[in-house]
Structure 1
């Protein structure tokens, strides 16, 4: 009896390039998609528009991706790795100190990412609001939340694993929502929302990190 071949997810890439030249073409396609998101919004992103912006053929796009959702999924994965690199840099550069200070530095790094990484804000909102991208947004949330959970683990020994998972995801979405809002404002107003993000996340985490009866910083 023949074994049925398992279908690939609809947003899975057609192939992962191994040669440097192919890798550069794939990156150019992702760069073009990010530029489209930043300049025209998620509704303007089509495979034809991506090909035109990347100055390549539509066949070249389909060589790597079966549809635009797959391109956006791959771009989300690239954003995640870049965003996590920022997080790791903050952790590596920060001297041992109060958790609140580290949290605030992390939020500053995320805020900078929202403002400087082309298309990230537009894709983040699109993943939340677009039915076609809900699975991509959920995958992003799962992956990044798991990494935040690992950071919180030594700080929240009293939490059960399931509770810590919820806290990590909530922390991520509280910060992300306010920072996405901040990125839509002018510089002065945006800075105010970044400060609100810091206060909101620290107040949310405080009972988990400094439970009642345990000495710690004041709330």
Structure 2
């Protein structure tokens, strides 16, 4: 969506339906509150789509900034007129139409998400430790405490991960909507609540180690 917004702002002479976005999930715009969403004419959300801490609608799943504005236009929210140069196509099942769109395209921009890029970890025997991140599909690098997990899903002592596709999903005191099923990526999260989660565990380890030595 961000790439589409950039192309639409460019000097490229795009004709009608020149750009097509193929998407799997519904497109969700961010709103600071349910009241703001209703006031704008957006009603496609429920209680599970609202962050219980901030009150934000689609806090984690939503588009923001220019991509959000384009989503609002294409969905016709609040009387906005869709851009005639742009069209949406939601993927589903054996989608022959999507195949035809790709076959006719001059340029295809792949925006298929991220996989974790895990640095190799070695055991005391020098052997590489198989990590969950090495599995096919959409694996996780870390658990809900940001601890790097092995192929069996067990955390590795003292190894933590953060960043794109790490797999951490905010919950509980970190907020976020209950309906969110993806992976949370954002500098604010990493530099604040998620980073704090790791710092607290490191400090707990520092406190616990002298106690074990004394025992």
| Pair in the same fold by TM > 0.5 | no
Larger radius of gyration between Structure 1 and Structure 2: 2
Structure with the larger helix share: 1
Give the TM-score taking structure 2 as reference length: 0.25
**TM-score scaled by length of structure 1:** 0.25
